[in-house]
């Protein structure tokens, strides 16, 4: 299993974020033109921001599960996703 984060921030902003957290255990994908966020339907053009969502993508590129409104504080979200993954992958 691989984990990556994607943000409409610039690569420089993402590096500053990672540095502030003393690094991350997964890569961040810079999407400053919002093409990826738009493709997943989370980009708000009127606000020029992307909502927080989680997408579980299979090795073959198939979307297995989506969480379109992941909580901003993240509380319980990782546990929910990993719990669901246990069922999806078994």
pTM of the predicted protein model:
0.76
* Domain assignment of residue 73, given as a range: 5-89
Tens of pLDDT, residue by residue over 8-25, are 999 999 999 999 988 888
Confidence of residue 72 (pLDDT cuts 50, 70, 90): confident
pLDDT value of residue 31: 95
> From CA 42, how far away is CA 31, in angstroms rounded?
12
User: Domain containing 50 — which CATH number?
Assistant: 3.40.30.10
pLDDT value of residue 16: 93
**Structural domains of the chain, count:** 1
């Amino acid at each position: 299993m691989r984990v990556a984060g994607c943000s409409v921030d610039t690569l420089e902003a993402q590096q500053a974020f990672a540095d502030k957290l003393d690094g991350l255990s997964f890569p961040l994908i810079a999407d400053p033109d919002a093409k990826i966020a738009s493709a997943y339907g989370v980009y708000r053009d009127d606000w020029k921001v992307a909502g927080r969502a989680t997408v579980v993508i299979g090795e073959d590129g198939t979307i297995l599960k989506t969480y379109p409104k992941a909580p901003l504080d993240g509380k319980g979200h990782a546990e929910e996703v990993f719990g669901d993954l246990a069922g999806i992958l078994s």
